[in-house]
């Protein structure tokens, strides 16, 4: 029978890496890489900038191995908090220009949907994006981390430096606001005559 907290695999690798185990350090980095790279890729436009942010994240993470406390949150949450701060710094430094890199366009294979289906899907995407745009920046980030990154409330709390209860409350309120806004949009559209 095991007593006490059960450490996640990243925490065990971290403990071994701190003792100089290079295999554990490599496994830790390889395990975190997809999370960090994916998180950054969804928030930074160009591949060169993404690579720079990911590299800076690992540089900072490796420099702070002794400061990570698995008792206060997951190693992954700590790493994503570093990535988030670096992304904020990146955007602050760049102050986004109107230029859109060609690689930001998503080349998708034909999925067999007809023009009407694509139009309806785009309309739904626009309605959701519009509803989300009315949320606070923190609420948008809570939704993105929860649904986009698949993080738990404690991990989201760690990334955003919030209390887990506050994250759950924000998530609940944000979902309610989205439902209300989308229902209002749907109601407004039901009164429109689709015929020209």
**pTM listed for this prediction:** 0.65
158 and 70 Cβ atoms separated by less than 8 Å: no
Range 48-64 average pLDDT: 95
Q: Where are the beta strands (DSSP E) in the chain?
A: none
* 17 or 193, greater pLDDT: 17
Least confidently predicted of 8-22, 93-107, 181-195 = 93-107
- Identify the pLDDT of residue 144: 87
* 86 or 113, greater pLDDT: 86
- Identify the pLDDT of residue 18: 94
Residue for token pair 């185990």: 21
161 and 169 Cβ atoms separated by less than 8 Å: no
Q: What is the mean pLDDT of the chain?
A: 82
* pLDDT tens digits for range 109-162: 556 666 776 666 666 667 777 777 888 888 888 888 898 888 899 999 999 889
> What is the percentage of the chain residues whose pLDDT exceeds 90?
43
Q: Which residues of 104-128 are buried (b: 16+ CB within 10 A; e: fewer)?
A: eeeeeeeeeeeeeeeeeeeeeeeee
* DSSP tag of 46: S
Domains of the chain from N-terminus onward: 9-94 (1.10.1740.10), 113-190 (1.10.10.10)
Return all residues near 42 (Cβ < 8 A) that are at least 6 apart: 144, 148
> What is the percentage of the chain residues whose pLDDT exceeds 70?
76
């Amino acid at each position: 029978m095991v007593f006490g907290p059960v450490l996640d695999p990243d925490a065990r690798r971290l403990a071994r890496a701190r003792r100089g185990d290079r295999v554990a350090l490599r496994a830790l980095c390889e395990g975190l890489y997809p999370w960090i790279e994916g998180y950054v890729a969804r928030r930074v436009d160009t591949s060169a900038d993404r690579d720079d942010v990911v590299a800076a994240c690992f540089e900072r993470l490796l420099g702070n191995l002794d400061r990570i406390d698995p008792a206060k949150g997951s190693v992954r949450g700590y790493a994503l908090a570093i990535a988030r701060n670096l992304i904020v710094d990146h955007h602050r430094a760049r102050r986004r220009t109107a230029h859109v890199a060609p690689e930001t366009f998503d080349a998708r294979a034909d999925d067999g949907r007809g023009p009407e289906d694509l139009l309806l899907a785009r309309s739904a995407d626009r309605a959701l994006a519009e509803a989300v745009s009315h949320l606070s920046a923190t609420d948008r980030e809570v939704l993105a981390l929860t649904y986009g990154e698949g993080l738990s409330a404690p991990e989201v709390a760690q990334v955003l430096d919030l209390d887990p209860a506050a994250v759950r409350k924000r998530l609940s309120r944000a979902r309610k606001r989205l439902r209300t806004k989308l229902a209002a949009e749907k109601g407004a559209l039901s009164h429109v005559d689709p015929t020209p």
